[in-house]
Amino acid sequence: MLENKTVILGVSGGIAVYKAVELLRLLTKAGATVHVVMSKNAQEFVTPLTFQTLSGNPVHTELFNLYQEQEIGHISLADRADLFILAPATANLIGKIANGLADDLLSTSVMATKAPVLVVPAMNSNMYENPLYQQNEKKLAEAGYQVMEPATGELACGWLGKGKLPEPELIFAAADAMLTAKDLSGCRVLVTAGPTREELDPIRYLTNYSSGKMGYAVAAAAAARGASVTLVSGPTSLQTPYGVEVVPVRSAEQMRAAVLECFAESDVVIKAAAVADYRPARRGENKIKKTADEMTIELEKNPDILSELGTRKQEQVLVGFAAETESLLVHATEKLQKKGLDMIVANDVTAEGAGFDVDTNLVRFLFADGKVEELDLMRKEQVANRLLDQVAELWQAKRQ
Ligand code: CTP
């Protein structure tokens, strides 16, 4: 929950500084006020003007600068932070903090803050593996700093290994999670998302327009609220959300198998996936050749995963989605009852700004006790959190 929060973004010198620019953009877009502190070396990679323009605030670079200290001194900078993010954090910066050294504005401000600190290391993989560096990183973690694991891949120096700065979206999600109340802590949430693909032959399949955005938003928000989250996902182009375990599947049958495997161990199941109701009755071993002028594809029914969960459920909270194009409430109520759900998210996918492959949604929540909550048009991330507010209540009620 970064809206209206004050974030200090500390940037130290490394090629990944350019990614901190994107992180800053995400933070301000989420409604945070961001003050950037740059080390001397960071300014060799990107100028302070870039960060200043995007943050709308003066960039802080020097400890002994009378003008900057008068505007907002380093102690008050550290004081006003709700969150401190160090990205990228070099081995040098981490080494200094771990050993209590404060010799420039950035290290001094981090030492002086009482706010939670997210440290995002980025460096050459050999430096990362160096036991001295590892000791320093461990010290930070033990002192309560949250340290993110670097990504693995091709590094700027040409090496292939661990040490890359994670993608800005992931750093943003980790930061957001640090300021989010953990009302789902201890709750095991199973989410399904995306479309399923029903193969016709090795190169063709039947599917639908689902992008997976709604289910991924629910999984990400649940993880930020402290739940342990498994996301069974049909094929999408979306990034794995921070802190979420993804089980990739393609067909409805594969989704069913993956869901049933996790079901007994879940407290909450949220089925946002757009499961194909039918699949081709026969799958061609080889590419189907173009021969006759007409062709008929025979379909057979897929298992209804949610209905099956409804019959098996013990104490689980079961949440379904109903994507409709007409008679929304009638169809959604019918599904809620027929599938044995605690709650259903009903949306008219033909409404402006709602449904598949857009970033917003217009939904109503229907409950087993007949209660209905109608939401305004909002971003899918916001819908996800409103949904989880309800889920948290249902889960707590079942625990008592
Ligand atoms: N669902 C499921 N397995 C299926 C079909 C749907 O688990 N084979 C789940 C979806 O994930 C969703 C809910 O059931 O949470 C409703 O899906 P929807 O496609 O709206 O409804 P259907 O039951 O398939 O009915 P219809 O297609 O006739 O509207």
pLDDT in tens, 244-282: 999 999 999 999 999 999 999 999 999 999 999 999 999
Cβ neighbors of 45 (< 8 A, separation 6 or more) are 13, 14, 15, 17, 18
Ligand 1 near 271 CB (within 6 A):
yes
How high is the pLDDT of residue 78? 85
Q: What is the pLDDT of residues 347-386, one digit of tens each?
A: 988 888 887 878 899 999 999 999 999 999 999 999 999 9
Q: Which CATH class is domain 188-399?
A: alpha beta
Q: Is position 157 annotated as part of the catalytic site? A: yes
Tell me the DSSP string of 24-59: HHHHHHTT-EEEEEE-TTGGGTS-HHHHHHHHSSPP
pLDDT beneath 50: ranges in the chain? none
Cα 258 to ligand 1 centroid, rounded to whole Å: 17
User: Which of these CATH numbers, 1.10.287.3510, 3.40.50.1950, 2.60.120.330, 3.20.10.10, describes 6-178?
Assistant: 3.40.50.1950
Ligand 1 near 306 CB (within 6 A):
yes
How high is the pLDDT of residue 175? 97
Residue with tokens 């029914």: 301
Give the DSSP H/E element, type plus range, for residue 387. helix 380-399
Task: Record the tokens describing residue 182, joined without a space.
Answer: 């953990």
| Distance, first Cα to last Cα, the chain | 28
How high is the pLDDT of residue 159? 76
Residue spans of the domains in the chain: they are 6-178, 188-399
Mutate to test the pocket of ligand 1, among 306, 333, 363 (most ligand atoms within 8 A of CB): 306
Q: What is the pTM for the complete model shown? A: 0.90
Dist CA 362 CA 377 (whole Å): 5
Dist CA 54 CA 24 (whole Å): 7
Q: Which entry of 141, 156, 157, 181 is annotated as an active-site residue?
A: 157
* Cβ 40 vs Cβ 14: under 8 Å: no
Cα 321 to ligand 1 centroid, rounded to whole Å: 7
Q: Which amino acid is at 361?
A: N
How high is the pLDDT of residue 353? 86
Dist CA 306 CA 310 (whole Å): 6
Q: What is the pLDDT of residues 305-324, one digit of tens each?
A: 999 999 999 999 999 999 99
